[in-house]
Each structure stands twice: as C-alpha cells, then as structure tokens.
C-alpha cells in the first residue's frame, strides 16, 4: 500500500480508502460483514474510512462506529453532511443550524468525540460560503473536527469557497471528493487543476464507475452488479450513452489483458496515477470485492498503458456526465439560462 499526504495537512493516508456507503441496507451488508471488511481493509494497509450521515440515514455511520471500536486512533475517519436526513426541510443543507446538529448526530452514531475530516456532501446554493465556513471553523476550534472538505463541488465553487475563507479569515476546505474513473474523466479539465492550484487533497469516489469497471459488465451478458438491480437504467445498453460505455469497457479490458492486469487493477491504477489524486475510495459489499480491489494497491501503470487508455477515452471526457452531480444549476434548469421577458402591460 502506498501512503500520500492529504493535501497540505501533513496527514498520511493510504492510496486506497474504504468507502462505507454499502454498509447496511444500501448494499445489504450486515454488521458482521461490515466489521470483517473493515478488519481486512486495515490489515491490507488502508487507514482512511469514509462514510456519510445519509448512507442509510445513519445506518452506515453506526456500523462503522461498531467496526472501529477500540482502534479509533489508527484510523483517519471521514464523514459527510448536507443531504436530506428526514422530510423536515431544515434537516439538510449547509447552514450553521443544521451542520451543528448533524455533526453531533454523526459523532453519536460513530461513537467518537471527533472526526478527522468532515465534508460538505454537495454544494448548497441556498447557503453562503461564509455561513458554512464559519460554522465549520467553529466546530474545528471546538475540537469536534480536525479538518473539513467539500464533495462533488463544481470547480468554480471550489475557487469561490477558497476566496471566501481568505476574505473572512476562516479555515478553508482542505480536500475535495469528486467522481473520477476511466469512464468519467471530466474533472481532469476543470476540478483537478483547481485542486492542484490550492493544494487540496483529492479523494475520488466511484473509481470503478458503479460497477462498469469491476468486470461484471461485459458485452454479451447481463450486468451482474448490485447497482444494475437498483438502477437498471444505468446499465440498459439500449441507451446510446450506455452502449458507448460498454464499447469503452471492452476496449479497456483488452488494454488490461495486454498489460497482464485485471480490469479493476487498470481502473484503480489509472485514477491513483494522476498526480492530483490522493486516494481512490473503494466501496466493497463483500470481502471478495475488497480483496480484488486491494490487489490493485501497488499497481503502477506504464506510460504505454496510460497512452492506450487515452486512446479509448480521451482526457477530460465524461461518458456519463449526467451521473456526476457536479453540473452547474443552469445546465440542468433551462429557466436559469433564459432571460425572462417583461410582462406585457
């Protein structure tokens, strides 16, 4: 396992990190299975565990807390807040009112008195950067969080938050958690140059593209991933975007075979090869999944292999941009990019 500095914090984290989204009802992973996965991850050299309050509405955090009991000091523990936790309109977002409550709830579920990294799960357009950063700075000063970061922020919002921290003399985001994989390379053109400019650590999610790069999605056979049952439209090859992904997967599998690698090794070796990336988050549902991912921990891709990847999916290209959740609002809502006509009268 390789270890890298998390941004400019001085904290050393493993190049593969354990994502706990599948713990509980989302991945149908029991507590015993989750604990076994955490045990094997730590034995394999992983030292960063990432979860979120909204995974199973707290279920994942509770399971992580039980799995790490008695060894908290050996783990860089990360969680996230911002997504809806109930039907109550104020039980979500990035306001001070909610973040103070959400963090206390997360600490209780995790069974700890602090987390190492507290992340804002999505940019909240209803809340100012000053409001959020001020709350996070106070929580940091209170000792409840060591550092804080963002997740799936558009590049311009990352910049705005850095400037807001400087302008208002507040602590700043020290990490960003974007989606990145062989099939989703858009962040190479905008997010990663910004994170490098500001010295942010980068923890990438979905490096196996929701199972497309696990080897379970191949031409001529039905997709055999958990996600294909939960989100069948993402794997329906009757859709043009999915046919393009399947074609790319077949070509990438050939690149992996030629290099003597599994597709998983190629996928994880690719994202961790980028100099801006600190760690790739893997989210196994089973021990077998984890072992196949740990096998990629020390994978180093040659320039020839990386060139072959570029020939399949061009740098900066997303094959499914609609699944990344980092589009600016005006790209999704036509009303935001059309000037209103004055009412006749």
pLDDT digits (tens, 9 = 90+) for 207-247: 999 999 998 887 766 665 655 555 667 778 888 889 999 99
Query: Quick one: which of 82, 66, 73, 76 has its CA closest to 33?
Result: 66
339 within domain boundaries: no
CATH number at residue 315: 3.20.20.100
| % of the chain at pLDDT higher than 90 | 84
Q: How far is CA 293 from CA 83, 205, 254, 318, 324, in A?
A: 28, 14, 19, 23, 22
Average pLDDT over every residue of 176-193: 96
Q: How many domains does the chain have?
A: 1
Average pLDDT over every residue of 60-85: 96
pLDDT of residue 336: 82
123 within domain boundaries: yes
What residue numbers bound the domain in which 66 lies?
A: 12-332
2 within domain boundaries: no
238 within domain boundaries: yes
3 within domain boundaries: no
pLDDT of residue 226: 58
Q: Which residues contact 307 (CB under 8 A, 6 or more apart)?
A: none
337 within domain boundaries: no
User: Which of the residues 55, 118, 173, 180 is marked catalytic?
Assistant: 55
55 catalytic? Reply is yes
Tokens of 280: 């790739």
Mean pLDDT of the chain: 93
200 within domain boundaries: yes
Burial class (CB in 10 A: 0-12, 13-18, 19+), 44: middle
293 within domain boundaries: yes
pLDDT of residue 230: 55
């Amino acid at each position: 396992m390789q270890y890298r500095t998390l941004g400019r914090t001085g904290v050393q984290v493993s190049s593969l990190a354990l994502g706990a989204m599948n713990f509980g009802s989302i991945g149908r992973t029991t507590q015993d299975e989750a604990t076994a996965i955490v045990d094997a991850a730590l034995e394999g050299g992983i030292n960063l565990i990432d979860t979120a309050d909204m995974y199973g509405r707290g279920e994942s955090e509770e399971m992580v807390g039980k799995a790490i009991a008695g060894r908290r000091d050996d783990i860089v523990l990360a969680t996230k807040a911002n997504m809806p936790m109930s039907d109550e309109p104020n039980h979500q977002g990035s306001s001070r009112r909610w973040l103070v409550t959400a963090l206390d709830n997360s600490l209780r579920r995790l069974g700890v008195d602090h987390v190492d990294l507290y992340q804002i799960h999505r940019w909240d357009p209803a809340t100012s950067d000053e409001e959020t950063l001020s709350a996070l700075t106070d929580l940091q000063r209170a000792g409840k969080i060591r550092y804080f970061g963002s997740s799936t922020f558009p590049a311009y919002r990352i910049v705005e938050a850095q400037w807001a921290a400087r302008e208002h003399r507040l602590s700043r985001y020290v990490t960003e958690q974007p989606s990145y994989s062989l099939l989703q390379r858009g962040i190479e053109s905008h997010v990663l140059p910004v994170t490098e400019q500001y010295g942010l650590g980068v923890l990438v999610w979905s490096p196996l593209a929701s199972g497309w790069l696990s080897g379970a999605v191949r031409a001529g056979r039905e997709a055999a991933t958990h996600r294909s049952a939960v989100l069948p439209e993402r794997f329906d090859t009757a859709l043009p975007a999915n046919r393009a992904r399947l074609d790319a997967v077949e070509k990438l599998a050939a690149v992996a075979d030629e290099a003597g690698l599994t597709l998983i090794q190629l996928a994880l070796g690719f994202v961790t090869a980028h100099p801006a990336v600190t760690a790739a988050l893997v989210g196994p549902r089973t021990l077998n999944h984890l072992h196949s991912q740990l096998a990629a921990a020390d994978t180093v891709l040659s320039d020839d292999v990386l060139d072959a990847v570029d020939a399949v999916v061009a740098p900066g290209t997303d094959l499914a941009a609609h699944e990344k959740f980092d589009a600016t609002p005006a790209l999704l809502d036509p009303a935001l990019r059309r000037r209103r006509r004055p009412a006749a009268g």
